[in-house]
Structure 1
């Protein structure tokens, strides 16, 4: 996470659907810290570079439909950009 230049405990993220921001959040708003989540999960399984941990979601959950475009941004960097088929 060093390449993001920020504190992993306070990373800003957004999810856009068809160019409209659907979700917005910050890791500082999570119930447990990123470090605590990684430590807890690591007790039960080996985590490797590139593994993803899903912990919940901020407000704004709605269905997506075929043809929708999803774009995920973390600290101003686009992580995902794809169309639903």
Structure 2
């Protein structure tokens, strides 16, 4: 693989690491909300109802992380074929 194609792998690995970090942060936020009884356990089944701001914000970050980066992952993996 030439130098130009190998340069794309660093941002890809950074994005993969960021994805794992946000997943872990979202898990901890949900655990905190459940432990402090800020939401009822039924909230996590349907995600409907009132939720504290910190939980809603974490959920939005989580959802946004799986919209556009998925296309980047797909293209990133295809580069290996060229």
TM-score (norm 1): 0.26
More strand by share: 1
Q: Say which structure, 1 or 2, has more relative contact order (CA 8 Å, 6+ apart).
A: 2
Which of the two has higher C-alpha Rg?
2
TM-score (norm 2): 0.26
